[in-house]
Structure 1
Protein backbone atom coordinates (compact mmCIF):
# COMPACT_ATOMS: atom_id res chain seq x y z
CA UNK A 1 0.00 0.00 0.00
CA UNK A 2 2.93 2.36 0.65
CA UNK A 3 4.69 1.91 -2.68
CA UNK A 4 3.40 2.35 -6.20
CA UNK A 5 3.52 -0.52 -8.66
CA UNK A 6 4.67 -0.34 -12.28
CA UNK A 7 1.06 0.05 -13.43
CA UNK A 8 0.58 3.13 -11.26
CA UNK A 9 3.71 4.73 -12.76
CA UNK A 10 2.55 3.92 -16.31
CA UNK A 11 -0.81 5.59 -15.66
CA UNK A 12 0.95 8.67 -14.25
CA UNK A 13 3.24 8.76 -17.31
CA UNK A 14 0.28 8.57 -19.71
CA UNK A 15 -1.48 11.40 -17.89
CA UNK A 16 1.65 13.58 -17.96
CA UNK A 17 2.09 12.96 -21.71
CA UNK A 18 -1.57 13.82 -22.34
CA UNK A 19 -1.34 17.03 -20.32
CA UNK A 20 1.99 18.37 -21.58
CA UNK A 21 2.44 16.64 -24.94
CA UNK A 22 5.58 14.91 -26.20
CA UNK A 23 7.11 18.02 -27.77
CA UNK A 24 6.99 20.03 -24.59
CA UNK A 25 8.35 17.11 -22.54
CA UNK A 26 11.21 16.73 -25.04
CA UNK A 27 12.10 20.44 -24.71
CA UNK A 28 11.93 20.27 -20.91
CA UNK A 29 14.26 17.26 -20.98
CA UNK A 30 16.79 19.10 -23.15
CA UNK A 31 16.64 22.17 -20.92
CA UNK A 32 17.08 20.09 -17.78
CA UNK A 33 20.01 18.19 -19.31
CA UNK A 34 21.68 21.44 -20.37
CA UNK A 35 21.24 22.92 -16.92
CA UNK A 36 22.78 19.87 -15.27
CA UNK A 37 25.71 19.92 -17.72
CA UNK A 38 26.30 23.62 -17.04
CA UNK A 39 26.17 23.03 -13.30
CA UNK A 40 28.75 20.23 -13.53
CA UNK A 41 31.09 22.41 -15.63
CA UNK A 42 30.71 25.23 -13.13
CA UNK A 43 31.58 22.91 -10.28
CA UNK A 44 34.67 21.69 -12.15
CA UNK A 45 35.79 25.29 -12.82
CA UNK A 46 35.15 26.17 -9.19
CA UNK A 47 37.38 23.31 -8.06
CA UNK A 48 40.18 24.25 -10.47
CA UNK A 49 40.27 27.98 -9.63
CA UNK A 50 41.36 27.64 -5.95
CA UNK A 51 44.02 25.11 -6.91
CA UNK A 52 45.47 27.48 -9.53
CA UNK A 53 45.38 30.39 -7.08
CA UNK A 54 47.28 28.31 -4.52
CA UNK A 55 49.94 27.45 -7.10
CA UNK A 56 50.40 31.14 -7.95
CA UNK A 57 50.70 32.06 -4.27
CA UNK A 58 53.29 29.34 -3.69
CA UNK A 59 55.29 30.48 -6.72
CA UNK A 60 55.20 34.09 -5.47
CA UNK A 61 56.33 33.00 -2.00
CA UNK A 62 59.24 31.02 -3.47
CA UNK A 63 60.26 34.01 -5.59
CA UNK A 64 60.08 36.34 -2.59
CA UNK A 65 62.04 33.87 -0.45
CA UNK A 66 64.87 33.78 -2.99
CA UNK A 67 65.11 37.55 -2.84
CA UNK A 68 64.28 37.99 -6.50
CA UNK A 69 62.39 41.09 -7.46
CA UNK A 70 59.47 41.10 -9.81
CA UNK A 71 59.84 43.79 -12.44
CA UNK A 72 56.77 45.87 -13.14
CA UNK A 73 56.36 48.90 -15.33
CA UNK A 74 54.27 51.79 -14.12
CA UNK A 75 52.67 54.08 -16.64
CA UNK A 76 51.63 57.62 -15.94
CA UNK A 77 48.06 58.53 -16.53
CA UNK A 78 47.61 60.88 -19.47
CA UNK A 79 45.25 63.82 -18.92
CA UNK A 80 42.13 63.79 -21.04
CA UNK A 81 42.03 66.35 -23.80
Structure 2
Protein backbone atom coordinates (compact mmCIF):
# COMPACT_ATOMS: atom_id res chain seq x y z
CA UNK A 1 0.00 0.00 0.00
CA UNK A 2 2.93 2.35 0.64
CA UNK A 3 4.59 1.99 -2.76
CA UNK A 4 3.18 2.96 -6.13
CA UNK A 5 3.94 1.27 -9.40
CA UNK A 6 4.88 3.06 -12.61
CA UNK A 7 1.26 2.81 -13.78
CA UNK A 8 0.04 4.78 -10.77
CA UNK A 9 2.53 7.57 -11.51
CA UNK A 10 1.57 7.63 -15.21
CA UNK A 11 -2.12 8.00 -14.34
CA UNK A 12 -1.32 10.83 -11.89
CA UNK A 13 0.81 12.55 -14.56
CA UNK A 14 -1.98 12.20 -17.12
CA UNK A 15 -4.51 13.74 -14.72
CA UNK A 16 -2.16 16.63 -13.90
CA UNK A 17 -1.60 17.35 -17.60
CA UNK A 18 -5.34 17.25 -18.24
CA UNK A 19 -6.10 19.63 -15.37
CA UNK A 20 -3.34 22.20 -15.87
CA UNK A 21 -2.45 21.82 -19.54
CA UNK A 22 1.01 21.57 -21.06
CA UNK A 23 1.52 25.32 -21.48
CA UNK A 24 0.88 26.04 -17.81
CA UNK A 25 3.16 23.18 -16.76
CA UNK A 26 5.89 24.52 -19.06
CA UNK A 27 5.61 27.97 -17.43
CA UNK A 28 5.73 26.45 -13.96
CA UNK A 29 8.83 24.45 -14.91
CA UNK A 30 10.65 27.46 -16.33
CA UNK A 31 9.74 29.57 -13.28
CA UNK A 32 11.00 26.85 -10.97
CA UNK A 33 14.23 26.52 -12.97
CA UNK A 34 14.79 30.28 -12.85
CA UNK A 35 14.24 30.30 -9.10
CA UNK A 36 16.76 27.50 -8.58
CA UNK A 37 19.31 29.27 -10.79
CA UNK A 38 18.79 32.54 -8.91
CA UNK A 39 19.23 30.75 -5.60
CA UNK A 40 22.49 29.13 -6.74
CA UNK A 41 23.83 32.47 -8.01
CA UNK A 42 22.91 34.09 -4.72
CA UNK A 43 24.73 31.41 -2.77
CA UNK A 44 27.85 31.89 -4.91
CA UNK A 45 27.80 35.66 -4.42
CA UNK A 46 27.31 35.37 -0.67
CA UNK A 47 30.08 32.87 0.01
CA UNK A 48 33.04 34.27 -1.95
CA UNK A 49 33.82 37.98 -1.94
CA UNK A 50 34.76 39.43 -5.33
CA UNK A 51 37.27 41.90 -3.90
CA UNK A 52 39.74 40.62 -1.30
CA UNK A 53 39.47 42.47 1.98
CA UNK A 54 42.83 43.85 3.19
CA UNK A 55 43.86 42.88 6.71
CA UNK A 56 43.28 45.53 9.35
CA UNK A 57 46.18 47.21 11.06
CA UNK A 58 46.47 45.94 14.62
CA UNK A 59 49.03 48.27 16.20
CA UNK A 60 49.63 51.98 16.04
CA UNK A 61 52.60 53.82 14.63
CA UNK A 62 55.70 53.93 16.85
CA UNK A 63 55.70 56.94 19.14
CA UNK A 64 51.99 57.63 18.71
CA UNK A 65 49.77 57.43 21.75
CA UNK A 66 46.12 56.51 21.69
CA UNK A 67 43.96 58.45 24.17
CA UNK A 68 41.34 55.70 24.38
CA UNK A 69 43.76 52.95 25.47
CA UNK A 70 43.93 52.20 29.19
CA UNK A 71 47.11 50.74 30.66
CA UNK A 72 45.82 48.12 33.08
CA UNK A 73 49.20 47.46 34.70
CA UNK A 74 49.71 51.16 35.42
CA UNK A 75 46.25 51.33 36.97
CA UNK A 76 47.00 48.37 39.27
CA UNK A 77 50.35 49.83 40.46
CA UNK A 78 48.74 52.94 41.97
TM-score by length of 1: 0.65
Q: TM-score, normalised by structure 2?
A: 0.67
The structure whose residues are more often helix, as a share, is 1
Query: Which residue of structure 1 lines up, in the alignment, with residue 3 of structure 2?
Result: 3
Q: Which has the higher contact order (CA 8 A, sep 6+)?
A: 2
Residue 24 of structure 2 is aligned to residue 24 of structure 1:
yes
Q: Runs ≥4 in structure 1, deviation > 6 angstroms?
A: none
Please report the RMSD computed on the Cα atoms of aligned residues, expressed in angstroms. Answer: 2.3
Gaps of 5+ in 2: 62-78
Greater CA radius of gyration, 1 or 2? Answer: 2
Measured in 2, the distance between the counterparts of 1:66 and 1:27 equals: 60
